[in-house]
Structure 1
């Protein structure tokens, strides 16, 4: 072997970095390899939330939780497609991982009003399990370190420059009383930071996924971790049935690296691999619809693990989100929360609503596919809204009209990003939607807004829906008429923020073969692995939380200190 380390970590997202940091803290030598020239992966472009049951910050906000209720909830969400002991390992260990994050300088706070995604399911909570990263000062990285960190998506910035955290976003979207003052403060804070802005246009204040990865990157740089960028994985080395290293392309040449303790695959899913999409995902499917960074998540590590004997699982499932194209942006933009605001609706080509617009984004994407299978008319779908919505709320790249009126929008966006007409019938003709169906759907929406009850899909009927509603709208913060012209439409596709199928693993993140036996020396976490959540999405942070938690458990196993399950009585109860 040309090089030798205790642990090789493939990838540089949240799960990969946490694993590398934890391994270094356990006294292990670590190599982290990243195929692109930037670190952070898709995690750096995410919201940064982590779903952590019974977390350390819940008592501060007056909330209580239990491992028992969290286990019951996730087990139900997983629908038998994740082993019970793996589910238990997650809900028990996540809080310890989160406490470890705190100890290395990556601070999180509980979101007391952000509900689990299935609030009617046994074991769900109306808030507290999702945690948001505390803002991070990029000066701790320096400009050189910041330049190595993958930037966030344009959709997560104000005016393409200024960052915003989850608490601020909710206040602004919900039009709380402090919203305008908050926007003013965000803009003023950025404007007066002359010393930092002379060095870089990127905001000193990192939020969301940037805060998480900024904190992890700073912690990793303080440790003796070797990092290779522009170093894609080529294959795994297997000797006597054990994975003993990896072949990595470095400086244009294949480099063989030995791993005494193990190789951890943490390089994301396969949403950027069109051939794998066509082989596994629902149709129609297109890599261009994804909201993840180009050049990442091409399934290389999944294929390498499969070549080493790993079993694949959940390959037809994604972390779905509706997406739209914005010219000159290098990826489609996810529409996560704006569709929850009152005064909009989503329709197929028949002009029919087919989903609760305020539902969790994975369910929304699945609804697009389900309706398309039924009607053949939902890909693409259309989000339609009126002049009142346009004036008050942001959507996609469109800032609220009261701040950026149509006259100030890019002329090239008309009939490309958005469509506009004085009547619903005229709008329908432009976008190829049945005008009678569209008008009928708008009439029904007006009646639902008047009564406060959506008789078709119960939009606004639960605490999750209402989180991103407009608090000033009554009787239902998610419902308003679509009645005043001009009317607008944006085109939506069934995109994703990652695939959730991959290598099947056990509770310590060891990759399993077709017989259910662990492949020695091979570990897998994040979207390289089949999700512990099965086909569902229990709450915001259900990707990053498990990625880091199973990295935490994998290191314990490699260090000879495997983490035992505490509540085995829960496993016995379900047998």
Structure 2
């Protein structure tokens, strides 16, 4: 038997936050990860955190307050908002992030124009709450770099070069700006050198850079991380969780955790049974592709339930939705590509299987999928078509296809992208009514030429415009689709993680069906229920709470140890 103070199950943002906080509080910590790679869903993510009233925003002169943020959350989640969790998050999110930045290699920056996703609601911010992690040099990890989960292959250029949010404007302008061309050339040259010694680029951005920085910090603290070591059972004595049984190198290993166990296993986006139970369109037999890693099968939730923990099922949505396209691979498989950005650019519209627009394309990805589901209600499948003209695809790209000068030919040959010289011809290729599609485009174009969208209001608030092109007017999100060839890409529902999880209190303690804390058992990240009640108020509302409740759990465990 091995003894430690705190056992952390999972190696995403929540797990590393708990482990590092506990270590700095003087506890012995052991992390275990079921996969052979560490990083979890966070390694796939943008790494953004939603932190109202943060010091980076204040340094830019952005006024914000807990009261404003709570007002916004109340308008977002309504009676689904758990005030105890919301207050715990808002009271602790800034201390948590300041602890992380002061004691690890992680660094964040504010984006002053990155608005909340519904910026016209009371309490919403027009920017500053979402923090972006700075790039990190993966070479600093040494041999550990090979154990870091790589991002989704579809999200990397040339099969291995990461692009951060701040890189994208340069990519879009690389053929029209000398400064942007130099920026892209510098990244590409660095990548070419990296590939001489590594399987992918070592300039890490987004969540990959966040996890790498946390992992190096944990290694420097002497925190052990066991890979390929799933937890198979929680141990209890007199109703108190005292440790776990871990399968390591094929053999059961009993771990005694004197101060408790933190479950941070990433929710259930790869579990077909749970998705069928909670995702309505999946239950109806319609296609869905989750973006998170395939090992996220609800292990933490089931472990919590085995110890008496209860699920908090009253959420607005069970998952964080995102539309995805399926990118063909050389071996015949397809990989999902999450569509976060180009829908809001000028020159794009989305139509349902009948050839009609059904949503504001510049709205958040989480809002777009329910609109797609509703538009396809009663149909044989849930899907839509993202359309654009030649000017748009060459300037901004589409899905996994980069802008000019990157080629379109391979994607046309694989069937990932469809094209035609006329809308009538394209309608035939995608199987929608030709006259309906032509009427839709004609109506949209007439309004877009004036910078207007009376049907859905594309480009009418700060979040829409953030996703648009600031150099394009009069509306940064609107342009007629009029220069052929014309292009279409099929989108289906996907997710970037689950919201439905274990019920916890403001100390991150797992609760039973009566609302009583289970001593010695904590949950953070996507294993705990959504702080926002299953809504999606802004960029970073999963990783922000993950870092925060990992911090809260560890501090509570350390305080218990001191008694």
TM-score by length of 1: 0.92
Answer whether contact 1:40 1:149 (CA < 8 A) is retained. Answer: yes
Match of 1:127 in 2: 127
Kindly state the Cα deviation for residue 292 of structure 1 after the two structures are TM-superposed. 1.4
| 2:236 alignment partner, SS class | strand
The question of 1:168 aligning with 2:167 is answered: yes
Residue 471 of structure 1 deviates from its aligned partner by 2.3
Worse overlay, 528-537 or 160-169: 160-169
Supply the distance in 2 between the matched residues of 1:183 and 1:154 (Cα, whole angstroms). 24
**CA–CA distance in 1 between the matches of 2:406 and 2:169?**
20
Distance 1:48 1:284 in 2: 28
Deviation digits for residues 346-376 of structure 1 (CA, Å, limit 9, x no counterpart): 1111111111001011111121122223x53
Query: What CA distance in whole angstroms lies between the structure 2 residues aligned with 1:152 and 1:180?
Result: 29
> SS state of the match for residue 280, structure 2?
coil
Shift in Å, 1:457: 0.8
Alignment of 1:106-117 (within 5 A): 106-117=106-117
Q: Any conservation in 2 of the 1:79–1:535 contact (CA below 8 Å)?
A: no
Q: Deviations over 1:66-110 (max 9, x none)?
A: 111112112322222232121011112111111111112211111
CA contact (8 A) 2:154 2:327 kept: no
Partner in structure 2 of residue 385 of structure 1: 388
In structure 1, how many angstroms separate the alpha carbons of the residues matched to 2:169 and 2:83? 34
CA contact (8 A) 1:320 1:495 kept: yes
Whether the 8 Å CA contact 1:320–1:496 is kept in 2: the answer is yes
CA change 1:147–1:397 in 2 (3 A) is: same
2:215 to 201, 214, 217: 217
- Per the TM alignment, residue 474 of structure 1 is displaced from its structure 2 partner at its CA by 1.8
**Alignment check: 8 A CA contact 1:371 1:378 kept:** no
Separation in 2 of the partners of 1:421 and 1:134?
41
Match of 1:566 in 2: none
Contact kept? 1:110, 1:130, Cα under 8 Å = yes
Give the whole-Å Cα distance in 2 for the aligned partners of 1:179 and 1:14. 36
Q: Mean alpha-carbon deviation: is it higher for 519-528 or for 241-250?
A: 241-250
How far does residue 34 in structure 1 lie from its aligned partner after superposition? 0.5
* Structure 1 match to 2:376: 372
TM-score by length of 2: 0.94
CA distance in 1, matches of 2:252, 2:178: 55
**2:452 match: secondary structure:** coil
Instruction: Work out whether 1:321 is the aligned partner of 2:322.
Output: yes
| C-alpha deviation, 1:287, in angstroms | 8.1
Superposed CA offset, 1:422-464 (max 9, x none): 1212211111112222111111110221222211110100010
Return structure 1 stretches of 4+ with deviation > 6 angstroms: none
Deviation at 1:478, TM superposition (A): 0.7
Q: Is the 8 A contact 2:355 2:436 kept in 1?
A: yes
Verify the 8 A CA contact 2:154 2:336 in the aligned structure 1.
no
The alignment yields a C-alpha RMSD, in angstroms, of 2.1
Secondary structure, in 3 states, of the residue corresponding to 1:474? coil
Per-residue deviation, 1:16: 0.5
Partner of 1:356: 360
Report SS of the residue matched to 1:163: coil
Give, in whole Å, the separation in 2 of the partners of 1:130 and 1:55: 9
Question: What secondary structure, in the 3-state scheme, does the structure 2 residue paired with 1:211 have?
Answer: helix
Structure 1 residue 341 displacement after superposition: 0.9
> Does the Cα contact within 8 Å between 2:326 and 2:334 map onto a contact in 1?
no
**Equivalents in 1 of 2:499, 2:177: separation in Å?**
36
Using the alignment, how far apart are the partners of 1:7 and 1:130 within structure 2? 30
Give 3-state SS (helix, strand or coil) of 1:79's partner.
helix
* Equivalenced residues, count: 553
Unpaired segments of 5 or more residues in structure 2? none
Q: Secondary structure at the match of 1:451?
A: coil
Task: Name the CA distance, whole Å, in 2 between partners of 1:73 and 1:117.
Answer: 11
1:296-345 deviation line (CA, Å, top 9, x unaligned): 21111111111211111237511110011112276311011111111111
The CA deviation string for residues 123-171 of structure 1, in whole angstroms up to 9 with x for no partner, is 11110000001111223212x1211111112343333333322222245
Give the corresponding residue for 1:565. Answer: none
C-alpha distance in 1 between matches for 2:111 and 2:176:
18
Aligned in 2, Cα 1:469/1:378: closer, same or farther, shift over 3 Å? farther
- For residues 81 and 361 of structure 2, the distance between their equivalents in structure 1, rounded to whole angstroms, comes to 28
Q: 2-side partners of 1:178 and 1:529: how far apart?
A: 46
Cα contact 1:368–1:378 (8 A) shared by 2: no
Inter-partner Cα distance in structure 2 for 1:330 and 1:529: 31
Counterpart position of 2:147: 148
Please say if residues 350 and 377 of structure 1, whose CA atoms lie closer than 8 Å, have aligned partners that are also in contact.
no
1:532 paired residue number: 531
Structure 1, residues 530-565: CA drift from partner, whole Å, max 9, x if none? 100112111111110000100111111101179xxx
Answer yes or no: is the 8 Å Cα contact 1:429–1:435 preserved in 2: yes
Shift of 1:418: 1.2
Contact kept in structure 1, 2:412 and 2:418, CA below 8 Å: no
Moved more, 207-216 or 149-158: 149-158
- Confirm or deny: 8 A CA contact 1:78 1:532 kept in the other structure: no
CA gap 1:539/1:410 in 2 versus in 1, 3 angstroms: closer
Q: Against the structure 1 CA distance between its residues 172 and 74, is the aligned structure 2 distance closer, same or farther, given a 3 Å change threshold?
A: farther
1:137-536 pair list within 5 angstroms: 137-142=137-142, 144-170=143-169, 172-173=171-172, 175=173, 181-191=179-189, 196-284=194-282, 289-294=289-294, 296-314=295-313, 317-328=318-329, 331-373=335-377, 376=379, 379-400=382-403, 402-407=404-409, 409-410=410-411, 412-413=413-414, 416-536=415-535
